[in-house]
Amino acid sequence: MNEQKNDEDTVGTDLSTVREEINRIDRELLRLLSERRACSSKAVQVKELVHSPIRDRGREEQLLLDRIQIAKSFGLDAHYTTKVFHQILDDSIHAQQEHLQRLANADKAGDALVRVAFQGIEGSFSHMAALECFSSRTSQAVYLGCQTFKEVMTAVEQGRADYAIVPVEDTSSGGINEVYDLLLHTQLAIVAEKKSRVVYCLLALPAATLSGIKKVFCSPAAALQCSNFLSRLPNCHVEYSTDASLSGKRISEGSDKSVAAIASEEAARLFGLAVLERGITNQEENYTRFLIAARKPVKVDLRIPCKTSIVISTAQKPGALVEALLVFRENGINLTKLESRPVIGNPWEEMFYVDFEGNLEEDRVKLTLDELTRKARFIKVLGSYPCEEVPPTQISAKQRLNSGANAGAEIKPVAKAAAPAPKVSSKAKGYRLGSREYKAEDTIIDVRGIKIGGGGFVVLAGPCSVESYDQVMACAREVKENGGVILRGGCFKPRTSPYSFQGMGYEGLDILAQAGRKYGLPIITEVLSIEDMERVAEKSDMIQIGARNMQNFTLLSEAGRMHRPVLLKRGMSSSLEELLQATEYILAQGNQQVILCERGIRTFETATRSTLDLSAVPVLKARSHLPVIVDPSHAAGERDLVPPLALAAKAVGADGIIVEIHPEPEKALSDGPQALRFPEFADLMLRLLA
């Protein structure tokens, strides 16, 4: 017994020592980060003197490449290193922008007291957004909670507050109409924006249970954004309140364990409530965009990316809005938002709220507004303000390879992409929307910033089936590290034998989605039934319809109703014309985001699992404008054959490949023989990207 106690004391002592070492390292990291920020402050002062740009993309790219090489010598992976330095660069750029803004607006009193009005009480999402926004601008701020959005605006107009912060739109339910209407009639100017993640939680008194909840207090916005979760609570009544945090405060003042509130986790901490369920919004990535308004507009340094918001009303005649919007195109200005609102008192007339990239001090913006004024019945500038988002500098796997970040790897000759496909006449029988006759230019499909089609080459990779958390995370890391851009994984597995592994279902989908988020990879998984389509589309960035379902026309039509790109695989015994006709079922329902996939067909040859029809690539690209990718894994059935077939796919002009990888293929629950081991995948990527 004494020996066991001595062992426990030793372990405790060792753990305390390790923790103290971690604390020491963290303190040193923070000190160095502070030193780096100070250097950024010196850099912007020099840039101000010589009038140089804030950002040097070439310098940022080289910095990331250098840091990745150094990190690899310490055993750190490129994804982790890039993520850390993106945060560091983001902080540096924002600090430099704020410095220039203070100079441009003669606001050198950074420690001056500011008063910020927001709707709600402490712990509300508006309050937390205000704290995030102003904590870096001033060391002294007073936050004034108001009951309504109108009171927030009035507080600033009357001088009781310096700034108003109001939510204008969110990613779940769209624009907030009341705020749009207030912006039209206020004399305040928009001076900044803030995008904040909103994570709703179900809060209740301690000891309450989810099954015992009979009433939920929440704001109308929270009810809309959490409607799927609320629909799953049996016999539960929803009662509205003006503010999410106020709902939490309300139940904390009582003793009823059958009532709950939808609010933030911060509200739970403030009011001593328990969190029964976290992250209950319909969309996991749920963000709200806030606008900050003041009595006077701000000037934005021309070196800072800027956004301008206006309201316009056009004449009530055909083509009036189109004529107004063409002004932006003619002057090379990108619109980021266009939303209509009815004109109060004028039935069937609309005002249009427009956000665009540009600074009021730019000549092209001045020219645009002059031309718009001549075409519009009404125009009002709401404000010109710095863009909050700083697009991170990205470096490709090919850049890492050429820089020596993968030094020591053997680089083999790379098959060159084929010349543009020859023009092949197509009568487009049964596939009008997908034909070259209907659309001559290539369709380029955007999957969270990843472009598929139009001459590029992308690699989708991952395990045949999702088997465990560790397995998928390991695969995601390898895909990211070696230049893959989309993570694949089967959650629902169509198997020939009913006794074979059928997949982990929705549990597997959750794991795949977590891996995608962690490593910044869009995900794709197969859907087998129309009942699963909508739920899978909520979490998967792409939908795959496999070869066995190529002519499941009900499933194809359902995929056509989704706002998700669809990867359609050629059936094992299907002609190219049948593949294009199947594609039409998706296109005809409105979804124009379809990618064709050649995965091999059945022939009399038995040496491989299927016969990869590489001639399908140029034929499909001649007859259709849709992207075409190749699946060498299912065609080969043997991992040794996958690399040469993948290289051949690139050589004949495919837009990409989809391959299977696995940390231990011999232990895979499905299709292990065709899955590449991690070193084999890394070697293939070197050859593809060199």
**Which residues are part of the catalytic machinery?**
288, 290
Contact 351, 378 (CB under 8 A): yes
Long-range contacts formed by 369-373: CB under 8 A, 24+ apart = 369/310, 371/327, 371/331, 372/310, 372/312, 372/324, 372/327
Tell which residue, 621, 627, 210, has the closest CA to residue 451: 627
- Distances in Å between the Cα of 556 and the Cα atoms of 60, 229, 548, 569 are 44, 28, 12, 12
> DSSP letters along 205-222, please?
-TT--GGG--EEEE-HHH
Which amino acid is it at 29?
Answer: L
φ, ψ of residue 643 to 5 degrees: the values are -55, -50
Q: Which residues contact 640 (CB under 8 A, 6 or more apart)?
A: none
Q: For residue 343, which of 118, 180, 581 has the smallest C-alpha distance?
A: 180
CA distances from 303 to 56, 57, 61, 362, 543 (A): 12, 14, 19, 11, 41
Among 391, 404, 307, smallest CA distance to 357 is for 307
d(CA 420, CA 440) in angstroms, rounded, equals 13
Instruction: Note every long-range contact of 340-348, with CB atoms under 8 Å and residues 24 or more positions apart, other chains counting.
Output: 341/177, 341/180, 341/181, 341/184, 343/313, 344/181
What phi and psi values does residue 578 have, to the nearest 5 degrees?
Answer: -65, -35
In this structure, what are the phi and psi dihedrals at residue 585, rounded to the nearest 5 degrees?
Answer: -65, -35
Torsion angle of the four alpha carbons 474, 476, 481, 485, in this order, in degrees rounded to the nearest 10:
170
Residue type, 617: V
The residue with tokens 């002062």 is 45
Residue 129 in contact with residue 164, Cβ under 8 Å? no
Beta strands in 532-655 (DSSP E): 542-545, 566-569, 594-598, 628-630
Tokens 């190529």 appear where?
Answer: 550
